[in-house]
Structure 1
Amino acid sequence: MMLCAFAFAGCGSSGSGYSTDISKELTHERSAEITNATGFSIDYYNDGYKLVSIDDEGQFLIVPEGKTAPSDLKDGIVVIQQPLKNIYLVATATMDMFRAIDALDMIKMTGTKASDWYIPEAVERMESGQIVYAGKYSMPDYEVILSNNCDLAIESGMIYHTPDVKEALEARGIPVLVDQSSYEGDPLGRVEWVKVYGAITNHEEEADAAFNKQRQLFEEATSTGKLANSPTVAFFYITTSGAVSVRVGDDYIPKMIELAGGKYVYSDLVNENSNASSKTLQMENFYEKAKNADVLIYNSTIDSLMGSLDDMISKSEFLSNFDAVKAGHVWITSQNMYQDSMGFGNFIVDVKKILENPDISDDELVYLRRLV
């Protein structure tokens, strides 16, 4: 199967729209092959210089160790000087990418506490002091950041809610890169952002290998064992107020469910006045649409207190009447699924397995377990 078959955002180069003519001292040699992501491009120049261009964010010149930025570098381009040794990582989803390319040694600070990490290597490094907590995105600890000689801050889109923090970091001479992998419409496009961090850390080969591993899982899941009928699937969690949060139809989770051979029950759901990836429904409305779903998948990355099927049913009497509950086809995600940003292929395979074999054992799955 051609990769384009499941590249929802389209194939080909990212088309960042930025010019690669950035200095008379630099000769453009080639562009990295980007097959699924649309939000970035990577260009290579003479003497090991690299240019990462991110849509609506800007351009970043990666300067090799022992080199300096060109004197005539185009205005507005942010310089990232190698070697990188003291990264402040705030974008939680990127930790798994650094793990995948064997570059965790470059991360010295994080915006997530050890108790909130589900990546074992991150927890171990924080407990040993190799990585320290330096404050969340909106309240960074500048003293810790400066004392650790921070050479790059990697933020999530949340930083746009506190632009003064980004400006304060930059004013202290710290380049800030905002990860925008979450804006990719194609699930595999999100995974492909590992190539950005591969370029920044000189771990391109590892990044390509990690991406290709997930791409292979995507291809295998979408090219073999097609189901005669697409089982219907609801993906949700129940809020503290008793309402139900579901993903809108064009979110990456429903797309992965569809790639696995399922039919998302809210495939036509949109947020009329927002770009949010989820929408809150009253339980009665959720019941009307999802009561006959073949499979329910509960999102524990938001609600981590769900231990059993009875726990879920206790949240609403409506749930006991759902077909999937009666049939025992209720599953829950593991809490590490969101942070494991390089595991989307595994999630698709998991969903495919539970759709093809409702009696499958939890031992055969990575991110799902049956609620009993």
Structure 2
Amino acid sequence: MRQRIRTAAVAGLFIVPLVVGACSGSSSNDAGADRDCITDFDADTDYFPDKSTITDASGLAIDYHKSYQVVTVKEPSPGAAPASYVLVRCGAPAPKLDGALADAPAVQIPIRTMYSGSTTHLPAMVALDAADTVTGVSSADYVSTPEIRSRIDAGKVKQYADGGVPNVERVIAAHPDVLVSDGYEDASLPKLQRAGITVLSDADWLENGPLGRAEWIKFFAALTGREKKAAEVFGQVKRDYNAVTAKVANAPETSVLLGGVENGAWTMAAGGSYFGRIVRDARGQYPWAGDQSTGSAHLSIESVIDRSRNADAWLLSDMTVNSLPELYRQDERYRVFARPAKRAWNSTKAVSETGGNDYFERGVLRPDLVLGDVAAILHPDMFPGHDFTFYRHLPAE
């Protein structure tokens, strides 16, 4: 699950000078709140009384030191070497580092301005009470988060990319404290680096576990100094997710058809993928659940007809259809799946007027809500009156 607006990825370590002791802000007159900078540095003081502990995310590590922390993204883009970032409390002297960290990007925290390369970042920033730190987005149309939409409408958040490609001059002119990319390579990255723009990679989408992906809120907490708030938010998400899992733990498995035809092949989540795990935790079963690969399975429609035409329910996603007639107009072969079509649901309930789908935005931070919807679809008797957040039933007319 991801609705990402491509920007730039960090494939390794790069050098960005650290300005020590300064607490100056961005050129924006609507930057986040003034930083609580250190004014009388004491080398023996721990300036991080609230520390994040990573429990579910496999691709993120945070190590604390008294006046700085080291955030390591273990795979900043597919196949890339780990990247580490040194986050220094503003007002503290630059730490003396060696080895790979000597050349690691350095950031004064808490940041006051952030350009976001993916809509999935935005709910985390809002949950951390740091919405006013977001001053740029790659594509404004795809933003669903109300707090950021209102800032876009007020002119406080600017679009910095054209057709998904960053406008280098626009970013350089704004000079945000950081640009958090979406974990993809982009030719504009070297230009931004050379201009002194600090680019950090958020690789939450490479996590296969729903809770692991949600825990990347702690990445943004490290940038904003909101570790305590992140622990509260993620702790509640994890409790709610596990509560749904426990509720359906002894329910009989429901056979489910996933996905649909894309580019001539039937595409569905593999058993080891993010959504495959959601289905498993909701006590859903499908013939390819045993495929523990982490991406999508691409199958012949004949094989899906053979093995899933009599499934009890059908879960679609990322398809712009809101009724069965619309679905059949896309491909008449869907009519073969008459049984699962009676309980066909699509994750299009929360699509904005400009085309942003909150399922791919807030759903990343709130897998408990996604799981709740899927569990209610597969076991309706156990969730009477469920208020669906992301899914809508596809009517026959």
Q: Per the shorter chain, which TM-score range?
A: 0.7 to 0.9
- Taking the TM superposition and a 5 Å limit, the aligned residue runs for 1:16-95 are 32-47=52-67, 49-55=68-74, 56-72=81-97, 74-95=101-122
Partner AA of 1:215 in structure 2: K
Q: 1:100, 1:342 within 8 Å by CA — same for their partners in 2?
A: no
- Relative CO higher for 1 or 2, CA cutoff 8 Å, sep ≥ 6? 2
Percent identity reads 23
> SS in structure 2 opposite 1:42?
strand
What is the CA–CA distance in structure 1 between the aligned matches of 2:283 and 2:212, rounded to whole Å? 19
State TM-score, norm by structure 1.
0.82
What is the CA–CA distance in structure 2 between the aligned matches of 1:50 and 1:223, rounded to whole Å? 36
What is the CA–CA distance in structure 1 between the aligned matches of 2:378 and 2:290, rounded to whole Å? 21
> SS in structure 1 opposite 2:135?
strand
The structure 2 residue matched to 1:167, chosen from 184, 190, 194, is 190
- Taking the TM superposition and a 5 Å limit, the aligned residue runs for 1:151-190 are 151-158=177-184, 160=185, 162=186, 164-190=187-213
Partner AA of 1:102 in structure 2: D
> SS in structure 1 opposite 2:200?
strand
State TM-score, norm by structure 2.
0.77
Q: Name the residue aligned to 1:310.
A: 325
Shift of 1:135: 0.5
Unaligned residue ranges in structure 2 (runs of 5+) = 1-42, 75-80, 349-356
Q: 2:286, 2:308 within 8 Å by CA — same for their partners in 1?
A: no
For the pair 1:236 / 2:250, whether they are aligned, the reply is no
For the pair 1:104 / 2:131, whether they are aligned, the reply is yes
Change (3 A) 1:228 1:197: closer
Shift of 1:246: 1.2
What is the CA–CA distance in structure 1 between the aligned matches of 2:229 and 2:135, rounded to whole Å? 20
The structure 2 residue matched to 1:261, chosen from 283, 286, 289, is 283
For the pair 1:287 / 2:326, whether they are aligned, the reply is no
Q: 2:172, 2:197 within 8 Å by CA — same for their partners in 1?
A: no
Change (3 A) 1:143 1:68: farther
What is the CA–CA distance in structure 1 between the aligned matches of 2:62 and 2:210, rounded to whole Å? 20
Unaligned residue ranges in structure 1 (runs of 5+) = 1-24
Shift of 1:138: 6.2
The structure 1 residue matched to 2:154, chosen from 120, 128, 153, is 128
Q: Name the residue aligned to 1:321.
A: 336
What is the CA–CA distance in structure 2 between the aligned matches of 1:358 and 1:369, rounded to whole Å? 17
What is the CA–CA distance in structure 1 between the aligned matches of 2:162 and 2:96, rounded to whole Å? 35
Q: Name the residue aligned to 2:38.
A: none
Partner AA of 1:121 in structure 2: E
Partner AA of 2:245 in structure 1: T
Partner AA of 2:275 in structure 1: I
Shift of 1:224: 2.0
What is the CA–CA distance in structure 2 between the aligned matches of 1:104 and 1:265, rounded to whole Å? 43
Q: 2:316, 2:347 within 8 Å by CA — same for their partners in 1?
A: yes
Shift of 1:185: 2.1
What is the CA–CA distance in structure 1 between the aligned matches of 2:274 and 2:383, rounded to whole Å? 25
Q: 1:362, 1:369 within 8 Å by CA — same for their partners in 2?
A: no
Q: Name the residue aligned to 1:21.
A: none
Q: Name the residue aligned to 1:17.
A: none
Partner AA of 1:43 in structure 2: D
> SS in structure 1 opposite 2:161?
coil
Q: Name the residue aligned to 1:148.
A: 174
Root-mean-square deviation (CA), in Å?
A: 2.7
